[in-house]
Amino acid sequence: MSDSKLYKSSTPAADEVLSKPKHVPVTDDQDGQRVDNFLIRHCQGVPRSHLYRLIRQGAVLVNGRRVKQTRKLVAGEQVRIPAVSLKPAADVKVPESLATEVGNSIIQETEDFLVVNKPQGLAVHGGSGLAFGLIDALRQARGEPNLELAHRLDRATSGALLIGRGMKATRLLQDLFRQRSIEKRYIALVDGRWPANLHKIDVPLMKNVEHAGERRVVVDPQGQSAVTLFKVRSRLVDATLLDVTLETGRTHQIRVHSRHAGHAVVGDTRYGDNKRNATFKKNGLARLYLHSSELAFEWKERKVRVRAPTDQYWEDAIESINVDGREPKLERHKNNGLEKW
């Protein structure tokens, strides 16, 4: 079967180029990378759905054999990539002020990874209508195009974000996350008075359930296991500040488990109560109050523990609701949430 038959859209558009079939060797730095991720990096501009179809149809071969998308490559192997229509990727240009701010947010640096204190309101990567994300800003600021995300944080969440320096280090870090070998701690401000005896929520979560026209994560017996530990840090007026530890890493886990307990994270426009959010916003709390405060793991026989402090806007907002009978009017910090981005 020819490559053109395998890939229906092989006739390129005006701004696309039809590539030739090629055999690409797997380098030492790519050892252990999944076939699908390898293909995505070598076929930029091609829809992922088309790439997965090529793998399923057997058009992508490793050492002459058909493979599954999850197959991990070994250095020295040859990957055959069929002819595809490639759309030249436009150069990502991040506003210099943002690149500088993100570059200055690094809180730990080693030869293998960086830890960034991610600002609230900035997506970790581009896509879905976003021209760029934190990773693009960081690459530009550092002049390191090989920086890769080891994990992700929601756009509205701030705090510690782990970045690999090169694919080899990134895959090792991602393996630690998959093996649950990285301790992840958060700080969350939740609506109302959190029960003193509620320390653990262990209920499964189902991803991508449609609700009111959007995709959500919901509690579902058929979902994936999800375990979150909660500890009261302090009680405020109409809210509770919590220390949260994730034993699993499901999408929106803290937000959904908190809502399941009847105490949504303040500022959560997806899972929270609109009226309560409006009240908090009136009092100056105009963001999602969820912060990745700490990451801890072992790296090259050395224990690593990184703490990401909350910013002044967070501290002022928390202080503002710690006094009975007041309706605070917070002065908006210039870096609050990076709304301009």
The residues annotated with a catalytic role in the active site are 154
> Are 159 and 291 in contact, with CB atoms under 8 Å apart?
yes
Candidates 131, 129, 125; CA nearest to 152 is: 125
CA proximity to 264, closest of 230, 232, 235, 239: 239
CA distances (Å), 279 to each of 69, 87, 276, in order?
48, 47, 5
